[in-house]
Structure 1
Amino acid sequence: MTSTLPRPVTTAADLVQPAMRRAVDTLNPSVRHVVSYHLGWIDPDGKPTNSSGGKALRPALALLSAQAAGGTAEQGVPGAVAVQFVHDFSLLHDDVMDGDVERRHRPTAWKLFGVPAAILAGDALLTLAVEVLQPAASPAATDSVTLAVQDLIAGQSADLEFERRRDVTLHECIDMANGKTSALMRCAASIGAILAGASPEVVDRLADFGMHLGLAFQLVDDLLGIWGAPEVTGKAVLADLKVRKKSLPVVAALTSGTAAGDELARRYLVDGPPDDEELPEFARLIEQAGGLAWAEAEADRQVRAAGECLDAVGAPSDIREALWQITHFVANRDQ
């Protein structure tokens, strides 16, 4: 496992951050304060901080997709800013819906500033995501972002629906993850190519790469939500199990047809928060029922599929290597 970001990601942050700051500066001061805190630029009192504002994977994909299509990184900047703003819009709202009190080792925005302020901050970022694309005058890029948002909302809606159901299938769970996570990754991996004027064939191949990468990302995220180290992930130990989340490894275990899966269903699919001493037992049953092994194998399969899509794009060797570095990071990250 690794927490070291590949160089293409850190380079993308250097190029995209100034454009993000210019856009955020146009917001109402009170909304700007909440957004800037969430992005890691300031502390709760408004003082500049060096806190991380996230991994910037999606902006890096947007810039590299422009270069993969024969364009420049600069052509992909509007798309990079747009996908990062959509991502942070979703995180602000997710934290409210999930009741999460910590993100990136700091209190979440709603915890500090209240639910209404966090919702408005997310709404503002969603609006900015569309606004930053307007100077590029690319209806196809705007369509790509708005479609990703619709898929993201559908995936999040399904995730919420799963909380009320006992009969979630693995196919449904994968569809949910494709909407909740893969949709925006698919957009990020192709929007730069759109802005660079790539052919539909190249755009589609890069989009497929992003789709597989997104599902691998979600699988690893779900694994970290159960077996990740809290001091690294910034989340409570066994965080997903505390809320009886029906993540991919959990549903794989619940639908495994094994004795361990049946025992997990009996103890997991009930109302009310579990006792802390139950959480390690849940994790043991998920592993015993094959949920851990299935998720790891499926993540590897998605990474291989992403690599095949990259091969089909025919990008310059240095750009392909950069995209592969991001793929390797996604598959092996520990946070």
Structure 2
Amino acid sequence: MTTETRPSARDVLTHSRAAFDPALRTAVDSLPGSLRHIAGYHFGWWDADGTPADADHGKAIRPAMTLRAAAAVGGSALAAVPAAVAVELVHNFTLLHDDVMDRDHTRRHRPTAWTVFGVGQAILAGDALLTLAYEVLATDCSPAFRDAAKALSQAVLAVQDGQALDLSFESRTDVTLPECVRMAHLKTAALLGCATGLGALYGGASPDRVALLRTFGEKIGLAFQLVDDLLGIWGDPDVTGKPVHSDLVSRKKSLPVVAALGADNPTSTRLRELYFSPGALSPTDAAACADLVADAGGRAWCQSEISALFTTARTALRDGSTRERPIAELTALAELIVRRDH
């Protein structure tokens, strides 16, 4: 494939959204009115008072990867639309709940649903999206439904397990790097691996090829979390929507921080003393922590891991796929994930 015909991630996302968005809206429209209202606000389709809006809907990378994975194994992307919708519903279920647990006040540059409608209402809307995901799969009546429902359930349980671990880290000062990597795999990589695995399943792939496409998604998903953690420290607030050094101010046990704390060198010792000092971190202290994380090797470790994960993911994609164009499209999406400014 020449450079001139190589697909851009933006085009892939645009075309994928056009394919699955009508089905997503139809599914959400089937919810009871109060839950539909909150879900639609969360998706950016209307304001809190119901006025139609065109807010940031998110990139919708997961459903795009589901559709392109179906095509990559020689199947029809359109046949995988129910799986793509289910994945997007589950992803947004996790976001609604995460915002409550993390007490986040903004999502996609808008007030989070719980700050507008209340904690209980946001939790119920998230539960509704999770339930709706399985209904979408069941209504499609695909022969793949049983395996798809099982894979989706396993991914949801993994996400919940990862979130539970993440919450437990908040009160600990002894989190190890293997623990942190496992948490990230469960919380982030499992669902992205499910997205690409479901795509391959709905594309009619053999179990071996489904496993390879799932591995591709999992590796890119873990890289996604590594990039997010780097952006949580060094990202541009205008891009991330979060204050500078936000993860440090909240003393999050993110991957670069835990890697730096475990480096066992004088810099990591100074980082530990400052990071776990009593009281809130001032902007000056947070900036100093960012420098210490980098100097102790946390930033470089993450960047090295991202590169290794990308290489492994591309190998799995190539081994599990049969069509060149979807391979290029999935690669473009993977590059979008790992090559964000960090």
Compute the TM-score of the two structures, normalised by the length of structure 2: 0.94
Q: Is the Cα contact below 8 Å between 2:79 and 2:202 reproduced in 1?
A: yes
Divergent runs of 4+, >4 A: none
| Aligned-partner Cα distance in 2 for 1:12–1:18 | 11
Structure 1 residues 127 and 271: CA distance shift in structure 2, 3 A: farther
Compute the TM-score of the two structures, normalised by the length of structure 1: 0.96
Aligned length: 332
* Structure 1: gaps spanning 5 or more residues: none
Q: Is the Cα contact below 8 Å between 2:77 and 2:203 reproduced in 1?
A: no
Aligned-partner residue type, residue 113 of structure 1: F
Task: Show the 5 A alignment for 1:61-140.
Answer: 61-134=65-138, 135-137=140-142, 138-140=145-147
- Aligned counterpart, 1:29: 33
Asked if 1:237 corresponds to 2:244, the answer is yes
| Aligned-partner Cα distance in 2 for 1:305–1:170 | 20
- Aligned counterpart, 1:267: 274
Deviation at 1:274, TM superposition (A): 2.0
Q: Is the Cα contact below 8 Å between 1:31 and 1:121 reproduced in 2?
A: yes
- Aligned counterpart, 1:292: 299
Aligned-partner residue type, residue 250 of structure 1: V
Q: Is the Cα contact below 8 Å between 2:72 and 2:324 reproduced in 1?
A: no
* 233-242 or 248-257: bigger deviation: 233-242
Deviation at 1:9, TM superposition (A): 1.4
| Aligned-partner Cα distance in 2 for 1:37–1:293 | 39
Q: Residues 223-269 of structure 1: CA distance to partner in whole angstroms, max 9, x if unpaired?
A: 11110011111112111112100000000000011211111111212
Aligned-partner residue type, residue 182 of structure 2: D
| Aligned-partner Cα distance in 1 for 2:341–2:14 | 17
Q: Is the Cα contact below 8 Å between 1:103 and 1:235 reproduced in 2?
A: no
Task: Show the 5 A alignment for 1:1-335.
Answer: 5-134=9-138, 135-137=140-142, 138-270=145-277, 272-334=279-341
| Aligned-partner Cα distance in 2 for 1:334–1:54 | 17
* Structure 2: gaps spanning 5 or more residues: 1-7
Aligned-partner residue type, residue 306 of structure 2: A
Q: Is the Cα contact below 8 Å between 2:226 and 2:255 reproduced in 1?
A: yes
- Aligned counterpart, 2:3: none
Q: Residues 282-307 of structure 1: CA distance to partner in whole angstroms, max 9, x if unpaired?
A: 11110111111111111111111111
Aligned-partner residue type, residue 128 of structure 2: A
Identity %: 48
Calculate the aligned-residue CA RMSD, in Å.
Answer: 1.3
Deviation at 1:136, TM superposition (A): 3.2
Aligned-partner residue type, residue 251 of structure 2: R
* 218-227 or 259-268: bigger deviation: 259-268
Q: Is the Cα contact below 8 Å between 2:195 and 2:217 reproduced in 1?
A: yes
Aligned-partner residue type, residue 207 of structure 1: R
| Aligned-partner Cα distance in 2 for 1:76–1:244 | 40
